[in-house]
Chains A and B, each alone.
Chain A
Amino acid sequence: MRKYRLLLLGTLGKQKGGIFGILILMMLTALCMFSSVTLLTSGNAAVSIEMDRLGFGSFTVWVNGNEETLAKEIESISDVEKVTVQPLIFSGYRIGDQYSDNEGQLIVYDGKIPYRFIDEHGKEIDTPVIHPGEIYISPAMRSSFDVKIGDTIHFELSRQNGMKDFTVAGYFADGFMGSSMIDMKSFLICEADRLDALSMIDKATEYDVLAWRGAMLHVFQGEGSTLNETEFQRLILESTDLSLYTEFTYQKASIESYMLLLQNILSGFLIIFSAVLLVVCLVVISHSLSAVFEQDRKDMAILKTIGFTGRKLQSVYLVLYGITVTLGLLAGLLAAMPLSHAVAGGMVTSTGMLIPVTLPKGIVFGIAAALFIALVLFLFLRAERVMRVRPMQALGGQSDTQGAKKAGTSPIRKKNLSLHLAVRTLLFRKRKYAGLLVISFLLTLFLSIIGTMVTWLGPSGEGLMNAFSVADHDLGVQPFNNTVPMDEIERVIEWYSPIREKYELAMESVTVNGTEYTANVLNDTGYFHVLRGKVCTGDEVLITDTVASEQGLAIGDTVRIAANGRAEEYTVSGIYMCANGMGSNIGLSMEGYSKIGDITGYIWCYHYILEDGLVRDYAMQYLQDNYSGIDVHTNSWSGLDGIVMMMKLLAIVIYLIAAVFILVAVALISAKLLSAETSDTAIYKSLGLRGKTLRISFALRFLLVSAVGAALGTLVSALTAESMVGRLFIMFGIGEFSVTHGLLGILFPAIVVTLLFFGFALLLSNRIERVNMIKLISENEE
């Protein structure tokens, strides 16, 4: 046992650099995996619990009046357990110079609904008393409006002296629409302010009034009900007058998806990335073990001659590397909790909630156990090579692989000597570089996929803008009455940039076969992003992949679409893309919608495509400052900046982790190679080659191998990235994913990976220059 311990410690001392490197790699992999899994599960559980705690129903309907009557009507249905009413006031608002795209919802905080309150640093605080003039907001508004405690929010209740101002007193966790992914926002005020606001609304004339009363109806499905979510919602809509008063409806699952969209995307990518890192770890471990066995072959042979069995020797490496990867896993697991806490705290301004981070013990234990078993099995198989060491042959200087086919060589020329030497060594020892090739391939592939996503996203999030909007546009202006001088507004827009195209859009609530959806109505259906089939005429409808899936519809099917108590049959003419509402929407022509809806009202938003889209924000700001009775928006939304920033940050983090992995992998591999090539280096030096030449030649081997791996990664990415990401995006309602790369965009990950391999190899090969030639030769003779 003492001998065994000495051998173990001796091997550890000899391999400490490699062991430490593998420990770092395993720790990073485990950290990445466990923190992303923790964030994913904690977030989803927290939002669901918070929604239940705050009283979100099986589905919740936002209505614009008649709430008490509707609640009684719904409660009379046998499948309904109960309906709770949460009154509110819908009103547009302005913070500084920035106008809201959607009406805010002013809700009275009377303590009945247990909202949680958060301080500026993301910590939960005691329930405050809200005084008149004070307002509590979602922390997500800090990222979308840059609003702080003490700032003023102006709510425009009516045109004539109808501005009601509130001072931001703090933040609350809005479990229904707090996320920066949701443009609609709730605000908590006191009862006195609510009554004052209602008084202002009631006093305003029909022409002047801008805000209106409303309520959330939380509809709870009875335990005995056998209907699924969609059937239950359909039953309520068809059995009551709810559709006549509905502003919008959301099922619990939809809100959960919205609330955690950003966090889920982030976690999903990091989980995939950690799987890539795990494979890289395995490659590095494999290479490290191979090099160690090669290097220690003679020592192993001696140990075998003095009585150490092959199995015992194998167990030394198994224990040493097994402990290392286990420690790496544990260290990553321990670091994952504080990291998850920090990330969750940092994401308060995105999720709008303080996510209580709890380690999903079952899942983490399962992953850790699976990883441990897989790694031990892998180590066991790789360490099997010890069993094949034949003492007599090893001590006699023969290789275990003697008789193997001789590798091809390359001639050496004086010109570009370093390059020729590198090629020659590579051809001679190409198996030793296979690991590098695999690492380079995997990292380039993953970085290319991330690059594809970032390219699609665009510098300002144009990819998402176009995917989520019904049709491309730079600026949208919706007039609410006939006093709005649209000709003047168009002249102003033209001054900022010539208008290239113009069309009109209305977004109205309809039911399709009894299920509520948003109908995107265009006066020119040519602007719809049609994926399959054709644009719709007056008797036809376009549906998204989401609706097709939810309703079991295909092109050519007939659907019954209803609005405002009127219904018509339409034929599905095609599938189109609009991720708005997670794809829960349909497309109609103006003629088609006119059969079930009144098209003469001020429901139309004029969409403009500008020659210079970059000036859209300036034009929007000017119009918002100088014209009333209009809603102006760009193709963006408040949460978009967060997504763009997060994706760019994710790309940077992934590049940094990849760089660390390359550094450690190069350090481990180059150390083994340099050690194994001592005699070659000595011979080359004795022939008069300078250390600098040998160093460059050494780094060029890494460059050449990683370039091949990177080229393969780029090729596989070019062939598969779009379809892979496209499949992922369908989950978020984005039916089409296509990217046009520039040459640099395609090559960027490959160039970075290759240069990092080259740079680190050059940096870490300095011992070639430092070590004395005579010493090298004498070491080799020993």
Chain B
Amino acid sequence: MKKIITVLLAMMIITVIFALAGCQNKSSDPGTPPEDVIHPGVSDNNDTGNENSNGQTFTGSGEMIENAISVRIGRDSNDELSVNIIDNAAANTMLDYLSDSALLFPTYTYDEDAGFVGQNVRGNYTREEEVTVTNIKAGELYLFSGGQLRLYFKDVPGANITATPIGVFADTSVVNEAVTNAYESNQGDTWGVDVYFWITKQIS
């Protein structure tokens, strides 16, 4: 019988210990991250490119990804235009924001003289892949250092810009007319948007 009482007492003690153990959930303080985590380039100059949250390198091959996205220019447009995207860090980051459902993307800057429509895009992008472009062709997309994404709808010879190339429309010949028509039909927009774009990611 003593055994029974001992077992019962043991059960009671174990129960209390387990109940108390459930309250202990605080992790110990890991301290603060070292300098090479915050500024890896300072201590290790061999690092190239940015890493995303999964540790993947975004640098990319620099080659063209055919038909990566499709774009409709204008809020009421039904014409899907294919866009080829350059395989680099900035373009890959942008692709991460897109999905296979059409996303309505407003642009608030229409510059007839400079030949582009632009809009600041969120996200932090590496500037390591910036290039200087002297002559721009209609249908080309560039990301500028302030985070502005521009679609040039005109040829701009002697532009001499410094930006990261993002992609180019497969059929560049239709871009000028499509952007101009969308801009004109969008006058008086509630939000003051110049041109709307519907963007759909075509690659997984």
Interface residues of A (CB under 8 A from B): 416-419, 459-460, 479, 482, 484-488, 490-496, 499, 502, 523, 537-538, 564-566, 589-591, 594-595, 598-602, 604, 608, 612, 614-615, 618, 622, 648, 693, 696, 700, 703, 744, 748, 751-752, 755, 758
Contacts and interface: CB of A to CB of B under 8 A. Distances in A.
A96 B191 CA distance: 41
A488 B53 CA distance: 11
A204 B123 CA distance: 25
A460 B27 CA distance: 12
A752 B37 contact: no
Given A482-B147, A595-B104, A696-B5, A600 B120 contact: yes
Contacts of A598: 106, 191
Rank and list the top 9 A-B pairs by shortest CB-CB distance, nearest first.
A614-B27, A591-B101, A459-B25, A594-B104, A538-B101, A495-B33, A499-B53, A482-B147, A486-B124
Interface stretch (B16-24, B66-74, B165-173): B16-24
Contacts, number: 122
A487 B39 CA distance: 10
A413 to B, nearest CB: 13
Nearest to A524: B99
30 contacts: A416-B4, A417-B1, A418-B1, A419-B1, A479-B122, A482-B120, A482-B124, A484-B124, A488-B38, A490-B52, A491-B38, A493-B53, A494-B55, A495-B33, A499-B54, A523-B99, A565-B190, A590-B99, A591-B104, A598-B191, A600-B119, A600-B122, A608-B53, A614-B26, A615-B27, A615-B30, A618-B30, A696-B5, A755-B8, A755-B11
Contact of B103 (A419, A565, A590, A744): A590
Contact of B19 (A419, A700, A748): A748
B64 interface: no
A537 B100 CA distance: 10
A608 B1 CA distance: 56
Overall SS of chain B's interface: loop
B50 interface: yes
A212 B10 CA distance: 62
B121 interface: yes
Nearest to B29: A618
A755 B12 contact: yes
Given A459-B25, A482-B146, A502-B53, A492 B120 contact: no
B36 to A, nearest CB: 10
B15 interface: yes
Given A751-B15, A755-B12, A487 B122 contact: no
B103 A591 contact: yes
Interface residues of B, number: 48
A751 B51 CA distance: 52
A564 B105 contact: no
B37 A538 contact: no
Contact of B15 (A502, A565, A703, A748): A748
Contacts of A538: 101-103
B53 A601 contact: no
A752 B50 contact: no
B32 interface: yes
Contacts of B4: 416, 419, 696, 700
B37 A492 contact: yes
Interface of B: 1, 4-5, 8, 11-12, 15, 18-19, 22-23, 25-27, 29-30, 32-34, 37-40, 50-55, 97, 99, 101-106, 119-124, 126, 146-147, 190-191
A759 to B, nearest CB: 8
Contacts of A608: 53
A614 B28 CA distance: 9
A556 B5 CA distance: 62
Given A590-B99, A751-B11, A494 B53 contact: yes
A600 B25 contact: no
A590 B96 CA distance: 13
A494 B146 CA distance: 26
A496 B33 contact: yes
Contacts of B104: 591, 594-595, 599
Contacts of B12: 751, 755
B148 to A, nearest CB: 10
A612 B27 contact: yes
B109 to A, nearest CB: 12
A752 B106 contact: no
Contacts of B11: 751, 755
Nearest to B27: A614
A693 B99 CA distance: 76
B121 to A, nearest CB: 6
A460 B25 contact: yes
Contact of A491 (B22, B32, B40): B40
Contacts of B15: 744, 748, 751-752
B50 A487 contact: yes
Contact of A495 (B37, B39, B103): B37
A594 B75 CA distance: 12
Contact of B190 (A499, A502, A564, A612): A564
A418 B120 CA distance: 83
A598 B43 CA distance: 40
Nearest to A455: B22
A564 B5 CA distance: 72
A693 B32 CA distance: 63
Contact of B105 (A417, A523, A600, A612): A600
A485 to B, nearest CB: 6
Contacts of B97: 523, 590
A758 B37 contact: no
Given A492-B33, A748-B15, A748-B19, A600 B99 contact: no
Contact of A758 (B8, B29, B39): B8
Nearest to B119: A600
A696 B146 CA distance: 82
Given A460-B25, A538-B101, A565-B191, 6 more contacts: A485-B124, A491-B33, A523-B99, A590-B99, A618-B29, A751-B15
A416 B120 contact: no
B103 A492 contact: no
A425 to B, nearest CB: 16
A599 B15 CA distance: 53
A482 B39 CA distance: 18
A464 B171 CA distance: 52
